[in-house]
Amino acid sequence: MQPPWVDAPPVEAYPFEETHDLRSGPNLHDDLLGLLPFVGLWRGRGKGGYSTVDDFDFAQEVRISHDGRPFLHYESRSWLVGADGEALRPSGREIGWWRPAAGGDEVEMLLTTPTGIMELYFGKAESNPPRLEVVTDAIVRTPTAKEVRAGQRLFGIVNGELLYAHEMAAVGQPMQPHLSARLIRVGG
């Protein structure tokens, strides 16, 4: 017996809209109102480093969008920049979801990188000022991924800009600063 999809007609493009612009597309789910200030397209610059690597400058684009369901889609792309701001090469990427936990201000954050690391964060969102602070509950990695044991992240909206700091414990080192950036809303 053949599966019913073998002779099915071609499928059109994905028929449901996702948006980072609250003025268009589906309505934001009520459970996401505490995270509303973070929805948008953000770009800016940051500084990175770790006790095992030299400091570096980077540029970044973060898109936080929704499709009307009770989670946000998070995507981050960054690239190393030189002293004059010229793009040198691609750098870190992440993709994942921010989900309000059942009732209240608790948030679950699931993030995955192409380097073989999946992180599950839990934390709280505050509305005045808009702030999200999360710490890792679990980290899963492939056999070839670098060893990351823990992380914590702080996101905040300050004067309409998205600021964040990311600390991690990795490669035998204790928890310490890793990344921080200031991103400006360019869409949404």
Residue 60 belongs to domain with CATH number: 2.40.128.20
Burial level of 8, CB count in 10 A (0-12/13-18/19+)? Answer: exposed
- The residue range of the domain holding 64 is 30-187
Does residue 1 form part of some domain?
no
CA pair distance 132, 116, nearest whole angstrom:
25
Does residue 3 form part of some domain?
no
Does residue 131 form part of some domain?
yes
CA atoms within 13 A on the CB side of 41: 7
Domain count of the fold of the chain: 1
Burial level of 136, CB count in 10 A (0-12/13-18/19+)? Answer: buried
Does residue 111 form part of some domain?
yes
Does residue 64 form part of some domain?
yes
**pTM for the full predicted model:** 0.94
Point out which residues pair with 108 in neighbouring strands.
99, 122
CA pair distance 34, 27, nearest whole angstrom:
14
Segment 128-175, tens digit of pLDDT: 999 999 999 999 999 999 999 999 999 999 999 999 999 999 999 999
pLDDT at 4: 85
Segments of the chain scoring below 50 in pLDDT: none
